[in-house]
Amino acid sequence: MKINYSMKLISPANTASLGNIDKITDIGVKIDSKGNPIIFGKQIKGILKNTAISFRNALNLGDQKEFIKKFFGEEGEDLIEKTFNKIRFSNLTLSKKSKNIIENRYGIRIDRKLKTTVPNSLFNYEYIKAGTIFNGSIEVNDSIDKNELRFILACLFHLDYIGGLKSRGLGRVEILIEGKSIKKLDEIVNNLRENLQNKKLNSNISNEELERYSYTLKLKEPIILKKRSLGNYFYCKDIIQGSTLRGALIRYFLKSGIKLNTLLKLEVSDALNGEVPLASNFQTKYEVDKNGKVSKDKVIYTEKEFKNIKLERKSLSILNITGNEFSIGMDSRTKSAKENLLFNHEFIEYYDELKGEVLAPKGLLKNKEYIIYLGRLKSKGFGKATISFAPYKKQEKLKLEERIEKLNSQIKKEKNIITFDLNSDLILPFNEIYDIGEQFKMLLPFETEMKFDSKRSFINTDTLQGYNIVNNLRKVDELIICRGSVITYEIPKYKNYLEELKGIEDQGLGLRKYEGFGKIKICSERGED
């Protein structure tokens, strides 16, 4: 159940973003990538949670810990308990885009004993003008109890202040839910329940027959995809992996009543915005002529320099990190920050389409747009996305044998060169890497005379961290060959194994292929400047 609300600033407000490198401002306003003020859902969640605790204590409404756990949740519990009660908060964005709504003001600090200003205490801060309206929403379980829904909405109505510097008169707000005030609370609750449509999915779903679809993914909010952490700093992945999308789709359909055994048959590829960049792609460090830098694929061009200019590897990133989100752990008793609990998450904002493939039980996916949630901090205004599906149509300019012949004609000097170009990370079934050329050969579905070509191979390896949302367990780190790696062999009798090579492209190699890992294209088409 989605509940829309608006927040009007009765007084100016500061959303407390400390320090801006490019501004001489001590306390700034949080803005999005387009420079517009934004209030993150995590801020609303924290305020609403504290308000709910205060009201339940004042009204003696029973076990507040159980209530808070039920609606504000613990990460990773949903798929185990199958309750899906946790409230989801969207970010609040401007109701109407307008210019010059952020202004600047100065302040000083007073020594109350001496009744004089504290030396060097002059500071300045940004604020959003009074009268500005923000729109947002919360999402609750369709089966929520009427009285619990009424209590949560009443708490939302009593969200009176937001942001910092409240003691200086900033941050007073007024909330309207579905365009109505708190006087219409009962009417709002009744209307929400009356308008609630019972969402029934097609029960005619095949457990045996699978269908392939193309999907289109659009991010509606910033997304946080944990790659690894260093202390309290969380690095973000530069790609939305198939395993992430698969988990989100399983959660969506499990919440809708589809059996888990059916959903585990889903296979999803990574979300891409074009061809996967390959590690064999290099470009000159400097511009060669008026046309700029020159690109070379080092499977074809094996020299270290081009016209005496060093060749450097191109970026392999699919998505770029666009910002950082800071948060702190709060002590609910002292209302102050806990020591050593300042967190910094990298996040990505990307509003173009991403595409991929999915293999699903027949009858599961419909011609409609689904709303899913990806990554971390999903209940706090991050990770909302839409995904739609269409019948799969394979688009391929050249067939496998034609691609092999074209690559070898480009190389000229040598023949029978076969490249295995990784379009996604490949999970290795080994505990250590000692000879990647020999270990990769063990994964191939055929045995023949073949020689590893180290000069034309460009391989990156790493460890993969993960979390199993079905069993609520952290996965053991796994060894991977990274997306974009190029593994090259000389295979004199490759024509005898064309069917096996086609099978590799269709089915992939390595572990957890159903999660989008191990996708391989053989002898990708390589353009040359």
* Domain-ending residue, one of 361, 391, 421: 391
> Looking only at Cα atoms, what is the longest distance across the chain?
92
Residue 529 forms part of a structural domain: no
The reply to whether 22 and 80 lie within a common domain is yes
State how far the Cα of 218 lies from the Cα of 12, in Å rounded to an integer: 34
The reply to whether 81 and 10 lie within a common domain is yes
The reply to whether 145 and 290 lie within a common domain is no
Each of the 529 residues of the chain gets a pLDDT tens digit; together they read 889 999 999 999 888 655 444 456 667 788 887 888 888 888 898 889 888 888 888 888 777 788 888 888 764 444 444 556 788 888 899 988 877 888 888 888 888 888 888 887 788 888 889 999 999 999 888 888 888 899 999 999 999 888 887 878 888 999 999 888 999 999 988 888 877 654 555 557 877 789 999 999 999 989 999 888 888 899 999 999 999 999 999 988 988 788 888 899 999 999 999 889 999 999 999 988 877 899 999 999 989 888 889 999 998 989 998 888 888 776 666 666 777 788 899 999 888 899 999 999 998 998 889 999 999 888 888 999 999 999 998 777 789 999 999 999 999 877 899 999 999 999 999 999 999 999 999 999 999 999 999 999 999 999 987 666 555 666 678 899 999 999 999 999 999 999 999 999 999 999 999 888 999 999 999 865 4
The reply to whether 386 and 367 lie within a common domain is yes
What pLDDT, on the 0 to 100 scale, is given for residue 225?
Answer: 92
Residue 214 forms part of a structural domain: yes
Assign residue 512 a region (left: φ > 0; alpha: ψ between -120 and 50; beta: otherwise).
left
User: Is residue 462 within 8 Å of 482, Cβ to Cβ?
Assistant: yes
Smallest CA-to-CA distance from 37 within 91, 88, 89 is with: 91
* Domain-ending residue, one of 367, 391, 415: 391
Q: Which residues contact 6 (CB under 8 A, 6 or more apart)?
A: 95, 133, 134, 135, 136, 175, 176, 179
**Residue 515, SS3 per DSSP:** helix
What pLDDT, on the 0 to 100 scale, is given for residue 156?
Answer: 92
The reply to whether 359 and 494 lie within a common domain is no
What pLDDT, on the 0 to 100 scale, is given for residue 66?
Answer: 83
**Residue 325, SS3 per DSSP:** strand
Residue 225 forms part of a structural domain: yes
Q: Which residues contact 291 (CB under 8 A, 6 or more apart)?
A: none
What pLDDT, on the 0 to 100 scale, is given for residue 229?
Answer: 87
What pLDDT, on the 0 to 100 scale, is given for residue 442?
Answer: 94
Residue 125 forms part of a structural domain: yes
List pLDDT tens digits, range 107-125: 888 888 888 888 877 888 8
The reply to whether 184 and 293 lie within a common domain is no
* Domain-ending residue, one of 341, 363, 391: 391
What pLDDT, on the 0 to 100 scale, is given for residue 347?
Answer: 92
**Residue 311, SS3 per DSSP:** strand
> Domain total for the chain?
4
Residue 204 forms part of a structural domain: no
The reply to whether 77 and 168 lie within a common domain is yes
- CATH number, domain at 84? 3.30.70
The reply to whether 345 and 414 lie within a common domain is no
What pLDDT, on the 0 to 100 scale, is given for residue 386?
Answer: 95
Residue matched to tokens 């008169």: 169
Residue 162 forms part of a structural domain: yes
Residue 404 forms part of a structural domain: yes
The reply to whether 119 and 252 lie within a common domain is no
- CATH number, domain at 417? 2.60.40
What pLDDT, on the 0 to 100 scale, is given for residue 457?
Answer: 96
Q: If you ran DSSP here, which 8-state letter would residue 277 be given?
A: P
The reply to whether 458 and 337 lie within a common domain is no
The reply to whether 352 and 465 lie within a common domain is no
User: Is residue 282 within 8 Å of 295, Cβ to Cβ?
Assistant: yes
**pTM listed for this prediction:** 0.77
What pLDDT, on the 0 to 100 scale, is given for residue 22?
Answer: 47
Residue 201 forms part of a structural domain: no
The reply to whether 188 and 147 lie within a common domain is yes
Structural domain boundaries, residue 242: 210-275+319-391
User: Is residue 484 within 8 Å of 277, Cβ to Cβ?
Assistant: yes
Give the sign of the dihedral formed by CA 57, CA 60, CA 64, CA 68.
Answer: negative
